[in-house]
Amino acid sequence: MNTLWAIPAIAEEAEEKGKIFDFNLTLPIIVAEFLLLMLALDNLWFKPVAKVMDERDEAIRQKLMGVRDNSDEIKKLQEQAEAILKAARAETTAELNKMRRETAASLDAKLQESRQRVEKELAEALANLESQKEETLRSLDKQVQELSDQIVAKVIPF
Please provide the size of the chain in residues: 158
Single-letter residue type at 84: I
Q: CB count, 10 Å around CB of 35?
A: 10
Query: pTM of the predicted model, to two decimals?
Result: 0.40
Nearest to 6, CA basis, from 24, 31, 32? 24
| Residue 93 scores a pLDDT above 60 | yes
Tens digit of pLDDT for each residue in 113-128? 999 999 999 999 999 9
Cα 25 from Cα 2, distance rounded (Å): 14
| Residue 15 scores a pLDDT above 70 | no
Percent of all residues in the chain with a pLDDT value above 90, rounded to a whole number: 53
Tens digit of pLDDT for each residue in 33-53? 999 999 999 999 999 999 999
